[in-house]
Amino acid sequence: GALDRGAISVTVVQDVFGMPATSLTPPQPPLWTPPDRAPAVAAVRRLVEVSWRDLVRQIDPANLLLVDPTSAYVATLAMRPTSLSLGYAIESRVGSAAFASAGKGDFSPTALLATAIGPAAGTVQLVDGNGLEQVVPGTAAMIGDELVRVDAINLATRTLTFGRGCVDTVPAQQHVAGTRIWFTDDYLGENTTEYSTGVTVQVRLLPHTGSGRLAPELAPVDSLLFGGRQARPYPPGKLMINEASWPTDVVGDVSLEWAHRDRLAQADQLIDTSMASVGPEAGVTYSARLLRADTNAVLASQTAIAGTTATLATTYEGQVIVELWSVRAGTESHQRQRWTFIRANP
């Protein structure tokens, strides 16, 4: 139109077949889930009293001589609760006192026994392992209350080969399937507090991640009664009953043979129960007894044995239990050799 008129004429065609210039679609949800960085409770854990071997590994020789025989220490074991857990702090107390910082720890490799094993077994398959790639042959592990020496581990088959009854322990008559094994060397939580024999300590573990530490009120509390473990003489090894290892039945008198063990001479070595005599430690004697399995009545006993043999005579026929342990200055070994079998008269 003309310049003096404010009107514009437009001819328009609607393209009903064209695509919009802008296309809007809902965003796809992300496939990656951020990891949970919150500290978690160490649900699988254990308290143990420190052995003499543990002290030898932790304390220099000069200060080791200053350790009082009545002193006791606690160590902790814990399985890594999450992949982002870095370690844990240890807090402890006695009685109703306030919890105080008592050290720190790294998470321990651990697994379960796939099958039951008797006292002669030297291999076992593991299941539900955690951190097994960290296990090194020649180090110690704990099955139930028995310390063993790791001789080999096959990660592909999850098979462990080990030496039985090391340090101050003896081969257990049986470990049932599902018993937990802890690999302890370098993975014991270090509690530097010194306690006394007969005291009960309470401990809680506070795992931490890069985001912080578990709140103390969320940590379960475990207790341990000290038995003076580190000062006790080692139990005898290599037990033979009527010239056999772990017999199922015996005819006639019960004849025992064993090997000496020496807490001081063995130091940090892992001497298993099958090895020859070491020592004995000065002042150590042995005691042995034969019990009825049904009533625990004593059938025969001997004390203050200086050598490595004893004979227990009885006319009782049936299932019996033999026990053998060491004694020094009235203090008994942490564990006893113990075996159950059937005894018959000739």
Q: Amino acid identity of 302? A: Q
pTM to 2 decimals? 0.87
Lowest mean pLDDT among 12-26, 29-43, 197-211: 12-26
Question: Is the bond leading into 280 cis (omega within 30 degrees of zero)?
Answer: yes
Residues 326-345 pLDDT 10s? 999 999 999 999 999 999 99
Please indicate whether residue 191 or residue 203 has the higher confidence score (pLDDT).
203
Average pLDDT over residues 312-317: 97
pLDDT band at 14 (very low <50, low <70, confident <90, very high): confident
Whether residue 250 contacts residue 342, with contact meaning beta carbons closer than 8 Å, is answered with yes
pLDDT digits (tens, 9 = 90+) for 251-282: 999 999 999 999 999 999 999 999 999 999 99
In the chain the first and final C-alpha atoms are separated, in Å, by 137
Burial-class residue 100 by CB neighbours within 10 Å (0-12, 13-18, 19+).
exposed
Distance of alpha carbon 206 from alpha carbon 220, whole angstroms: 9
Determine contact, residues 99/91, Cβ cutoff 8 Å.
Answer: yes
Question: Percent of the chain beyond pLDDT 90?
Answer: 86
Residue type, 60: D
Helices (H), the chain: 52-58, 61-64, 263-266
Number of H helices, E strands in the chain: 3, 25
Q: pLDDT-derived band of residue 22, with 50, 70 and 90 as boundaries? A: low
Question: Mean pLDDT across the chain, nearest whole number?
Answer: 94
* Model pLDDT for residues 213-223, shown as the tens digit of each residue: 999 999 999 99
Alpha carbon distance 210, 37 (integer Å): 7
Spatial neighbors of 305 by CB under 8 A, at least 6 apart, are 285, 286, 287, 288
pLDDT band at 25 (very low <50, low <70, confident <90, very high): confident
Residue with tokens 């159950």, as numbered in its chain: 340
